[in-house]
Each structure stands twice: as C-alpha cells, then as structure tokens.
Amino acid sequence: MLGKVLKHDIKTCARYYLPMYLLFAVVVFINKVYLLINPKNSTVSNAFRGTIISSYVFCLIGVVLLTEIFLVIHFYRKCISREGYLTFTLPVKTGTHLLSKCINSALWHIISYGCIVLSLVIFLSPDEWNIIRALLRIISMPFSTINITGFTTFLILTALTRLFTAPLIFFASMSMGQIVTRHKILASIGFYLAFYIVFSMISSFGSSFLYIGAEVIFSGNESISLMILSAFSFLLALLQACLYYFLSYFFLDRKLNLT
C-alpha cells in the first residue's frame, strides 16, 4: 500500500516540480550561452554579465524556496484541508500516509539539490572552479588532523537525517495547528517558530557546552572535539525527526480536526 500512496504523491508533486525544473534549465542554458558568446572586456558586456549572474542566483534561491513551499502545499491539501476527508477515509493507515509524504519529500529534495549542483557544474567557468577549489583547500586545513572517516560518516548521516527532519517540522507544525478551531495557518506558523527557536537554542548551547568540555577534558584535541560535535549534530537531527514524526502521527491519527 505504501508504494501506491507514494506513487500518487510523486505524480501529484511532479505537476509542480517538473515545470520548475524545466524553467530553471532554460535559464541556466540561456545564461551559459550568453556568457560563452560575449567577451568580458566591454562595459556593456560586464553590465549584462552582472544581470545574468543575478538572475541565476535568484533562480537558485527560487528552487530552494519552492521545493519547500510545494511540499508544504501538498501536505496541507492532502492531510489538513477539506481533501483530508478523502485521504483519511481510504483504507490506509495514518503512518503509511505520513511515511509516504516523508519519502516523497526526501526524493524531491534530492532532485532539487542535484539540479542545483548540476547547474553549478554547467554555469561556472574553469577559472571560477579553480577559485572554489583553492577556497575549499583553505577551509579544510583546520580539519587535516581529524579522523576523516568518522567525521564524514557523521556528516553523511546528519545530511540524510535532515532530508526527513526538514519536511517533518512542517508536517508536525501543521498537524498541531489543525486542532485550532480558527486561524489554523497562523497556529501552524506559531508552532513552527516555537520548534525552530527551541531546537536552535539547544543546538547552540549544546554545541558550545560540548566543545568547551571536550577542549578541557581532552587538552585541546581538535579531532576529538569535532567528532563529538558531529555526533551531537547527528543525534539532535535524529531526535528532531523522531519527535516531529511522533507529533505528526499523533495529531493526525488521534486529534484530526478538518472542520
């Protein structure tokens, strides 16, 4: 049943995402062609070059924002709005609906960020890539003494967990907001801000406390300190994902109010 629900979610979201990706590809192609056929030494060309780069940056920001907005709209329509009556009268468990929305969200996030990376590969010139590589070498110098394998493992695990945490905070906020009789959207925004502020404070204070503690206990060993911080980041992301999933499931399954 999960496969059928997921297939339906992907098809529904594709109506939003595919036109966005197509438009993004057209903008990247036009900008790249213009940069290839126009020299850099004229004043007019430099002015247009700034406009081209600005339009590309705006498109990047648009892809990131619209990826989130489309997923929020999809969840709201399918689970919170009037259409939720149809969704929850189907012989499908609430957990199946929620898991499908999570997998669907992670899939579109991966595709969106993949498109952004591919566009950077196409858009940037060899000289610009050389500058980026030089900057990355400078940034990576402080990490030369750490356990790369362990640090990379935690980094990948955190990134994968964030793929689910990112949409689940919206799902939990809207699931809790729908129990309010009036102003459901405002209530959802309030819950989102509360979650964001609380976990931002936990992340900030927790990271500072652990880093200072590790520096004192392990005599300034940067490798151990960074490993502890990366492990803390992963565990906090995992805690958020579990909490948001539980709240979403509980309020959709036990406290559903679509009036």
Model's pTM, two decimal places? 0.82
Domain boundaries, the chain: 1-124, 142-259
Angle of CA points 79, 115, 6, to nearest 5°: 30
Q: What is the pLDDT of residue 220?
A: 61
Does 44 score more than 60 pLDDT? no
Mean of the pLDDT values across residues 171-188? 85
pLDDT one-digit tens code per residue, 113-150: 999 988 888 877 777 777 777 777 776 665 566 666 77
CA-to-CA separations, 141 to 99, 117, 119, in angstroms, rounded: 40, 24, 27
pLDDT one-digit tens code per residue, 55-105: 888 888 989 899 989 989 888 888 887 776 677 677 778 888 888 999 999
Q: Distance between CA 18 and CA 146 in Å, rounded?
A: 41
What is the rounded average pLDDT for all residues in the chain?
82
Q: What is the pLDDT of residue 259?
A: 59
Q: What is the pLDDT of residue 146?
A: 65
Render 166-231 in DSSP notation, one character per residue. HHHHHHHHHHHHTTSSS-HHHHHHHHHHHHHHHHHHHHHHHHHHHHHHHHHHTTT-HHHHHHHHHH
